[in-house]
Amino acid sequence: MKVEELPFTLEQLRIIKAVATEGSFKKAAESLYMTQPAISLQIQTLERKLNIALFDRSGRRALMTEAGHLFLRYGDCVLALCEETCHALEDLRNLQGGTLVIGASQTTGTYLMPRLIGLFRQRYPQVTVKLHVHSTRRISWNIANGQVDLAVIGGEVPHELQESLTITPYAEDELVLILPKSHPFAKLDSIQKEDLYRLKFIALDAQSAIRKVIDKVLAQNGIDSNLFRVEMELNSIESIKNAVQSGLGAAFVSVSAIAKELELGILHWCRIENITIKRMLSIITNPNRYHSQAARIFSEEILTMFSLQSPEVKKKALSVIQNT
């Protein structure tokens, strides 16, 4: 079949996707700034040309038939390729515009990525940057679906995606023990591993992905977090830092999350003798998707320059510790 003989248009693909996403012709019309009759007419015309029903109209919601789901799956691929085509054309303007979509897991997205994006924007202010911060699992699927250009994550990519995504080790992120400045241990140069079981801990919810990563890394260093006296579970790193600062307990957090608090001297980084607890951050990309010039530059210039493994960053961190 020749292109000019195709029984559908890109506009109809957009309409089908909007109806499937919104669940009704009315909401789809609103999202596309069209009238509902215009939406209905386009779908009826498409179904007539295809000679098959794409929606089951017997209920109140616009439910897709099996043929509708099949059409949508291929339609999504066509629309994604159209978006990639636009991105490639934008690149020809030598970064004089365009959009870079970056993903990150929770801690990385909250404390590291804003600094990296700031550096990138200083060099390329004409590029719009969007940051999506979600769980590692959701970000991984966004990469797989082409919704995100690249991502920096601290957790494990879902097993079913590991072969289809490119996973590149990026930097080691140290997990550190923080204490209130008034805690007796804050006067010591370091503590023993066994001392951890005497502390009261503030932790993230047991089901959170970050908590599972922390527990796994601690176990790899011979520390059984199941034996900790967890006094309180909170739902964010910020609330945990505030709780520790208020003297409610100790906590393990990423070193990137406490740079400001260490500089201000309101938290104590308590070292554990002969133990350094680290996790690996990774960059994930989709090798089957178009990689924009903006994404390549962000990866090659910004991520490389700001790697947590750089001696400059380590030296700065050590100077903060010595002054607290």
The three state secondary structure string of the chain is: CCHHHCCCCHHHHHHHHHHHHHCCHHHHHHHCCCCHHHHHHHHHHHHHHHCCCCEECCCCCCEECHHHHHHHHHHHHHHHHHHHHHHHHHHCCCCCCCEEEEEECHHHHHHHHHHHHHHHHHHCCCCEEEEEECCHHHHHHHHHCCCCCEEEECCCCCHHHCCCCEEEEEEEEEEEEEECCCCHHHHCCCECHHHHHHCEEEEECCCCHHHHHHHHHHHHCCCCHHHCEEEEEECCHHHHHHHHHCCCCEEEEEHHHCHHHHHHCCCEEECECCECCEEEEEEEECCCCCCCHHHHHHHHHHHHHCCCCCHHHHHHHHHHHHCC
Q: What is the pTM of this model?
A: 0.66
CATH code for the domain defined by 99-164+285-318: 3.40.190.10
Q: Which residues belong to CATH 3.40.190.10 in the chain? A: 99-164+285-318, 172-279
In the CATH hierarchy, which top-level class contains the domain 3-77?
A: mainly alpha
Q: Which residues belong to CATH 1.10.10.10 in the chain? A: 3-77
CATH code for the domain defined by 172-279: 3.40.190.10
pLDDT, one tens digit for every residue, the chain (324 residues): 555 578 888 999 999 999 988 888 899 999 999 999 999 999 999 999 999 999 887 777 778 899 999 999 999 889 888 887 877 777 656 666 678 999 999 889 998 899 899 999 998 898 889 999 998 999 999 999 989 999 999 888 999 999 999 999 988 888 899 999 999 999 998 999 999 999 999 998 887 778 888 888 889 889 999 999 999 999 889 999 999 999 999 999 998 899 889 889 899 999 999 888 888 899 999 998 888 888 888 998 888 876 644 444 444 433 443 443
